[in-house]
Amino acid sequence: MNPSDENSGERITDAEHAVMEVLWDRPRQTAAEVCEEVCGKRGWSLATVKTLLSRLVQKGAIAAEPDGRRFLYTPLIARDAYVGGESRRLVERLFGGRAASLVAHLAETEALSEADLDAIEALLKELRP
């Protein structure tokens, strides 16, 4: 599955994304290890994490490698590729494909701090020849 594929019906949900973040930070974890990271914060059980891991395997987002009586889970999608695809999808869906409209919206709603504006300005200077 390519998460940035506009035709894909197999998008990663918010709950699945929380599991992906744990695996991106440290690949090759068991379900119990993933649960240690997210269960307390989200009020989930180990069964919930196992269900999410199973869904992610079915979607082709992670691999499950047998390790005795348990599995080790590893991402098959790079974090930056996923974030890039989701960012493009957001801009397409909400702002007609215009990233400038997204930035303008954030500025108008005061969602950008002075530090954010400075960082955007610095980035634009780097991007322009």
**Model confidence pLDDT, tens digit, residues 75-108:** 999 999 998 888 888 888 888 888 888 888 888 8
State whether 66 and 52 are in the same domain. Answer: yes
Q: What is the pLDDT of residues 31-60, one digit of tens each?
A: 999 999 999 999 999 999 999 999 999 999
State whether 2 and 20 are in the same domain. Answer: yes
Per the confidence metrics, is the pTM higher than 0.75? no
State whether 102 and 91 are in the same domain. Answer: no
Under the banding of pLDDT at 50, 70 and 90, the label for residue 125 is: confident
> Which among 57, 14, 50 has a CA at the least distance from the CA of 33?
50
Domain count, the chain: 2
Domain that holds residue 128: 98-129
State whether 25 and 68 are in the same domain. Answer: yes
Q: How far apart are CA 67 and CA 60, in angstroms?
A: 19
